Structures are given as structure tokens and as C-alpha cells.
Amino acid sequence: MIKLISNFIGYIGIVVIVWGVILSLSKLFYFEFLRFKGNNILNKVKVLRQELGMYLLLGLEILIAADVISTITEPTFNELGKLGGIVAIRTAINYFLEKEIQGIQ
């Protein structure tokens, strides 16, 4: 049952990331259309990058939660090591994404 919950939460994280990419791409296409009409879109693209970064951060946090929950089912040292590695990598990605988002502002 816990494995099913973990998988469901993991899928939610994936959906959040995919949804953010879809929204960002649709806005990007619209902004490019505006650019061809002669509008300045630089500020709009900066906001778009921030929005995409926020979706990525949220999705990664949800995926970390799913990994933590899945480790509850098999708390072996091997699984704990894998979880530690995954959390470390995703935390580093979150850190640099957040720095990037702050740099855009």
C-alpha cells in the first residue's frame, strides 16, 4: 500500500513538471509571435524562466517526498544509501535552480 502511495506521489511530481513545461512552451510560442510583430519580450521571457523554474522546483520536491515514502517499505542500508544519493542530487539541483531564479530577478 505504501509503495502504491509513493508511486502516486511520484506521478504527481512528474505531472507538475510536465505541466510547467507545457505552459512555458505555450507562453514561449506566444512571446515569439509577439517578437515577430516587433514587441520587446525580454522581461516576459525572464518571468517565463522564473515560472518554469518554480514548477521544476515544486516537482523535484514532490519527487523527493515520494522517494522518502518508498524507503519506508524497504529501510535497508542499500535503500537508505540510494535515497541519500537521490536526495543529495535533487537538493543540489534545487539549490542551483533557486539561485538561477533569483539571478533572473
Q: What are the sequence ranges of the domains in the chain? A: 2-104
| Mean pLDDT, rounded, for 7-24 | 95
Q: What is the pTM of this model?
A: 0.76
Residue burial 50-76, b: 16+ Cβ < 10 Å; e: rest: eebbebbbbbbebbbebbebbbeeeee
Q: Tens digits of per-residue pLDDT, 36-80?
A: 887 777 778 888 888 898 898 899 889 888 888 887 777 778 877
Q: C-alpha 1: how far from its chain's center?
A: 26
